[in-house]
Amino acid sequence: MSFPASSAYSKTLTGILAGLATGALWGLVFAAPMLTTDTPGLAISLGRYAVYALFCVFILLGKRKTSLWPLFRQHYKTAILFGLLGNSLYYSLVVWSVKWSNPAIPSLLVGTAPIWLALTDAFRHKGHGLLSTLAMPLLAIITGLVLINLEGLHAGHAGSAMTFLIGVLFAVGAVTSWSTYAILNTRFLKKHPDISGADWSTLIGLGTGISLLFFLPLFDRQTIQHLLHPDTRLLIIWITLGIGSTWVATWLWNIASQNLTLGLAGQLIISETLFALLYAALLSQTWPAQMALLAIACFVFGVLRAMQVFMSIKVA
């Protein structure tokens, strides 16, 4: 694999390492339900975002005399929008998709986010003829996504064809929401290189907390009860996911977005799935099934080839 020369190499390497670390932290989100099987996944995620928002409030209060307050006042609308698209609205759509269809549908469709980001970047660099070059690696990623969700897709759904279609539409909305966040966030950070990834993660956390308030009335009483009365294990999971898998992960993702092209950063999202499979294997102490291993092979081939294509572009 060829790398950009000189100082661009350091920038690219920093972005790639940050993107991989982001995937490792995001992957923990999929392992959490295995550690507390009696807690609904929705309650785990809502607690995660609540901790994220509260942690960001504490950071903001602790930096009253720094530039973070003026930064928030200047960009609070953008922070709320990104918190909505990347967290609260996105996850609400995933939950509704699972409810109306089955878990495999949002997993499959949300997993296509790297493909949409790659295509967006390819169209931006259409003079480089990227679409034809990316066809094989993106097809490999799609194949991996289908293989990893094949069992769930065969499981079908309990409702009618119309409810299943509604679930699919919610999943399409979820991947659209998160992909839009990724695109806009990359553009914002490229436009404002003076804003640190950590500060922007804090502001997005505040935006997430504000936007999440509008969704709380839509969730059931049992979920709210878990939020109000968590046990010690659930509280530890919330703190780990809220700070590690959200605040730190968003900070690292911002670094990746600042240092890489949209298409290149997008390919690193697949590492989330790979780390999730690794954590599941470690927790269950079982080797991944043959279908999962084949999916992993497709992911690795597709991502490495797509990264090679995007790294050949000199335009940031």
Instruction: Dump pLDDT digits (tens) for 117-129.
Output: 999 988 877 655 6
Count of domains in the chain? 1
> b/e for 145-178, b at 16 or more Cβ within 10 A?
bbbbbeeeeeeeeeeeeeebebbbebbbbbbbbb
Burial of 218 (C-beta count, 10 Å sphere; 0-12/13-18/19+): exposed
Q: What is the pLDDT of residue 231?
A: 86
Per the domain annotation, does 152 fall within a domain?
Answer: yes
Q: What is the pLDDT of residue 3?
A: 46
Domain range for 293 is 6-311
pLDDT, mean over the chain: 88
Per the domain annotation, does 145 fall within a domain?
Answer: yes
> What is the rounded CA–CA span in Å between residue 216 and residue 178?
20
Q: What is the pLDDT of residue 159?
A: 65
Per the domain annotation, does 1 fall within a domain?
Answer: no
> What is the rounded CA–CA span in Å between residue 101 and residue 226?
24
> What is the rounded CA–CA span in Å between residue 174 and residue 90?
5
Q: Tens digits of per-residue pLDDT, 161-214?
A: 788 889 899 999 999 999 999 999 999 999 999 999 999 999 999 999 999 888
Query: Which positions of the chain have pLDDT values less than 70?
Result: 1-6, 126-129, 154-159, 313-316
Per the domain annotation, does 316 fall within a domain?
Answer: no
Q: What is the pLDDT of residue 133?
A: 87
pLDDT over 70, % of the chain? 93
Per the domain annotation, does 198 fall within a domain?
Answer: yes
Q: What is the pLDDT of residue 177?
A: 96
Instruction: Please name which of 177, 183, 144, 120 lies closest in space to residue 310, comparing C-alpha atoms.
Output: 120
Q: What is the pLDDT of residue 83?
A: 96
Q: What is the pLDDT of residue 316?
A: 42
